[in-house]
Structure 1
Amino acid sequence: MDKNVPHIPVGTLRSFMKDVLLALGVPPDDAETCVDVIITSDLRGIESHGIGRLKYYYDRIKAGQHKVVTEIEVIREGPTTAVLDGHHGMGMVVAHKAMQMAIDKARTYGMGSVAVRNSTHFGIAGYYPLMAIREGMIGMAFTNARPATAPTFGVQPMLGTNPIAFGAPTDEECPFLYDGSTPISQRGKIEIKVREEKPIPSGWVIDQNNQPITDPNQVMTGLDKGLAAFLPLGGEGETLAGYKGYGLGTMVEILSASLQGGAFMYGLTGIAPDSSKQPFKLGHFFMAIDIEQFCPVDEFKRTTGEILRELRASTKAPGQTRIYTAGEKEYEKEKIIRRDGVPIIPNLQKEIKFLQSELGLSQYDFPF
């Protein structure tokens, strides 16, 4: 815990974020859903998608890119599948409904899959597999995003950061939860570096000459102008298998766009032909698998737990004291955040004070 940075209690931040969304016109139940997704990111120590994204949503709502009242339309539906249109409402609300539909279908038929079009940013992808895990199921979530990642041997940002999230219950307190973007990094981490006024590592982002960029402000400007691009997982070229990250990002694009006939890549910029701002038209894909349809859930949890324990018990590299499995660090971080509160660095304090002032939320007495 950094004693030089104020830590705000989780309950206080949750209330503040809900009041911000209510003041913007988001209905109470929808605001609660949005806040639950956002605070889950903070709880798990994922600063890129927590309270640090609140002004991001404020700006998009003010620009008309996110509608505060979310109207979800069922376009097609079968016993195990559905296609939803989010009509540019709050992405967390659309995604929550889609994942719940997938879970409900899986409970009846063993598997459920739901594709979504015309949505907006839905927070951390890992939130939605956690919904399935609580029901004793496997959960998966995918989403496309505005262009940010270059294809292997390319320099133009084409694919989004296109995360993959997969979660499964185990016989331990901590479930297995993988949640990661398909390029080396993602916009949220660049936003953190901008706030912290720190450079990014060489090898994350390239310019149009295939040279590394380490200035986070240059990266943010370059991404929007098509002058900077993330490298896919594996990095540049084929030596370290960058084509694998490129292939995974393309897979997410197909799941998130092709199944629901939605927008993709440069159709997701949020910029209209006349250069005005427009909705982002994001697509998502969710899947839930009822474990009991394959084997007893307790047997599945035990086997999965054994897999994770054997991985953690394997031989460590020199100088290393511990091997983690996916979701373990975040699970442990949540205990600390619940105890100590969420750290708010100076530039994030400015955003919170701005929102507080603009929306008349004087009832909050933050220590900054």
Structure 2
Amino acid sequence: MENNIYWIDFDIMEKFMVDVFMGIGVPEEDARICADLLITSDKRGIDSHGIGRLKPIYYDRIKQGIQNPVTHFEMVREGLTTAVVDGHDGMGHVIGKKAMQLAIDKAKAHGMGMVAVRNSTHYGIAGYYASMAIDAGMIGITGTNARPSIAPTFGVENMLGTNPLTFGMPTDEEFPFILDCATSITQRGKIEVYERLGKDLPEGWVIGEDGQAKTDSHQVLIDLVKGTAALTPLGGIGEENGGYKGYGYATVVEILCAALQGGSFLKGLLGFSPEGKPQPYCLGHFFIAINISEFTELESFKKTTGDILRELRNSKKVPGSERIYTAGEKEHLAWLERKDKGVPVNLPLQKNIKDIIKELNLTGYDFPF
């Protein structure tokens, strides 16, 4: 234990999450998909989307009746390279994995594939789906809308979700290029991490109704739900540092996650009825797979991509900086650091895990906390 944090073996934590998902009605095969996505986040050092999301997102929403533990993956419309799917508020991880696999299968047959999804739920780290395409020798692109969090440039109302626009590309290195990030400066999950650690937020991440930055992480989480605070888009408040660019990209994701498939958007994703009662979030996603071999030899693509990344990392550095990174590198380094240590579990997560074990009467878990 270090600083009240215990490190738990990845396999043990993954098995625990499978048992939890099954304990609240998720079929075993689907539970394994969900747990794999969450543990992959922790392996890559993306603590905002790993075990920390198990209770407050999936467990609690299923308990509230606003997310279906059994996923009905309905094909609404299909072409040679395209499809529209309705997820019926099932498990976003299951919907996402099946949708990306469908896009990959279409790309194998026809060079490219795109699948649009409506009525889904939180699908975890977007990079997981891009990695699926990479493993198939393809370029993977995905995006999802989310409950309103971002204010448009010159606005203070939370209108857009954090709406990640994610790209994955194979390389000839030990790790692929994966750009997986929100179109806001930060995302709600990272604010939750700051709140659990009792830390204030950097100035400029969040804007209040008065147009001023807000930094109290605990109060910000309350105000985001109340709608009296909003995340700022990439570039920050106003136009001076390019905030309109992040705002524009967030809007692109919103359109592709709603307009193509007749899905919900903006305030329709709040998760509350007009009467203030919890309801399904009805999120939209899109998945694109591009078969590289239809354009060039896969190994040639990998080498050129690797050359680009290596030249970037070897370029001149800011005085005092040790290194330049490329997208996906830090996640690879996190895995190398964590592979023998496991998942870090802090005090709030320890409480969540103990509460779940008691509620579901799970046995066989002798956690050290």
Question: Which category describes the TM-score, using the shorter chain as reference length?
Answer: over 0.9
What letter corresponds to residue 275 of structure 1 in structure 2? Answer: G
Distance (whole Å) between structure 2 residues aligned to residue 175 and residue 153 of structure 1: 37
Distance (whole Å) between structure 1 residues aligned to residue 202 and residue 347 of structure 2: 22
Q: Alpha-carbon deviations, 1:276-318, whole Å to 9, x = none? A: 1110000000000000000000100010000000000000100
Residues 74, 83 of structure 1: 8 Å contact kept: yes
Q: Which residue of structure 1 lines up, in the alignment, with residue 154 of structure 2?
A: 153
Distance (whole Å) between structure 2 residues aligned to residue 297 and residue 362 of structure 1: 48
Give the 5 Å matches for 1:135-284.
Answer: 135-284=136-285
Q: Which residue of structure 1 lines up, in the alignment, with residue 100 of structure 2?
A: 99
Q: Given the alignment of the two structures, is residue 22 of structure 1 paired with residue 42 of structure 2, yes or no?
A: no
Q: Which residue of structure 1 lines up, in the alignment, with residue 129 of structure 2?
A: 128
Distance (whole Å) between structure 2 residues aligned to residue 4 and residue 322 of structure 1: 31
Residue 259 of structure 2: SS of its match in structure 1?
helix
How far is 1:2 from its partner?
4.4
Distance (whole Å) between structure 1 residues aligned to residue 224 and residue 4 of structure 2: 33
What letter corresponds to residue 72 of structure 2 in structure 1? Answer: E
How far is 1:332 from its partner?
1.4
Distance (whole Å) between structure 2 residues aligned to residue 282 and residue 135 of structure 1: 26
Q: Which residue of structure 1 lines up, in the alignment, with residue 59 of structure 2?
A: 58
Identity %: 59
How far is 1:149 from its partner?
0.2
Distance (whole Å) between structure 1 residues aligned to residue 336 and residue 360 of structure 2: 31
Residue 185 of structure 2: SS of its match in structure 1?
coil
How far is 1:211 from its partner?
1.1
Distance (whole Å) between structure 2 residues aligned to residue 151 and residue 3 of structure 1: 39
Q: Which residue of structure 1 lines up, in the alignment, with residue 298 of structure 2?
A: 297
Residues 207, 237 of structure 2: 8 Å contact kept: no
Q: Which residue of structure 1 lines up, in the alignment, with residue 6 of structure 2?
A: 6
How far is 1:46 from its partner?
0.4
Distance (whole Å) between structure 1 residues aligned to residue 4 and residue 51 of structure 2: 19
Give the 5 Å matches for 1:8-87.
Answer: 8-56=8-56, 57-87=58-88
Q: Alpha-carbon deviations, 1:33-71, whole Å to 9, x = none? A: 001111110000000000000002111001111100000
Give the 5 Å matches for 1:327-342.
Answer: 327-342=328-343
What letter corresponds to residue 157 of structure 1 in structure 2? Answer: N
TM-score of the pair, normalised by structure 1: 0.99
Distance (whole Å) between structure 2 residues aligned to residue 36 and residue 247 of structure 1: 32
What letter corresponds to residue 148 of structure 1 in structure 2? Answer: S
Q: Alpha-carbon deviations, 1:215-256, whole Å to 9, x = none? A: 111111111111000010001111101000000000000110
Residue 286 of structure 1: SS of its match in structure 2?
strand
Distance (whole Å) between structure 1 residues aligned to residue 2 and residue 311 of structure 2: 34
Distance (whole Å) between structure 1 residues aligned to residue 2 and residue 49 of structure 2: 20
Distance (whole Å) between structure 1 residues aligned to residue 131 and residue 308 of structure 2: 19
Residue 339 of structure 1: SS of its match in structure 2?
coil
Distance (whole Å) between structure 2 residues aligned to residue 161 and residue 4 of structure 1: 31
Distance (whole Å) between structure 2 residues aligned to residue 335 and residue 81 of structure 1: 37
What letter corresponds to residue 227 of structure 2 in structure 1? Answer: G
Residue 338 of structure 2: SS of its match in structure 1?
helix
How far is 1:21 from its partner?
0.3
How far is 1:337 from its partner?
1.6
Q: Which residue of structure 2 lines up, in the alignment, with residue 88 of structure 1?
A: 89
What letter corresponds to residue 186 of structure 1 in structure 2? Answer: Q
Distance (whole Å) between structure 2 residues aligned to residue 355 and residue 196 of structure 1: 21
Residue 340 of structure 1: SS of its match in structure 2?
coil
Distance (whole Å) between structure 2 residues aligned to residue 254 and residue 247 of structure 1: 11
How far is 1:4 from its partner?
4.9
Give the 5 Å matches for 1:338-357.
Answer: 338-357=339-358
Residue 14 of structure 2: SS of its match in structure 1?
helix
Distance (whole Å) between structure 1 residues aligned to residue 170 and residue 84 of structure 2: 27
How far is 1:362 from its partner?
2.9
How far is 1:3 from its partner?
6.6
Measured at CA, do residues 270 and 4 of structure 1 come closer, stay the same or move farther in structure 2, by a change above 3 Å? closer
Distance (whole Å) between structure 2 residues aligned to residue 38 and residue 74 of structure 1: 26
Distance (whole Å) between structure 1 residues aligned to residue 189 and residue 4 of structure 2: 23
Distance (whole Å) between structure 1 residues aligned to residue 80 and residue 337 of structure 2: 42
Gapped regions of structure 2 (runs ≥ 5): none
Distance (whole Å) between structure 2 residues aligned to residue 77 and residue 282 of structure 1: 20
Residues 196, 347 of structure 1: 8 Å contact kept: no
How far is 1:132 from its partner?
0.4
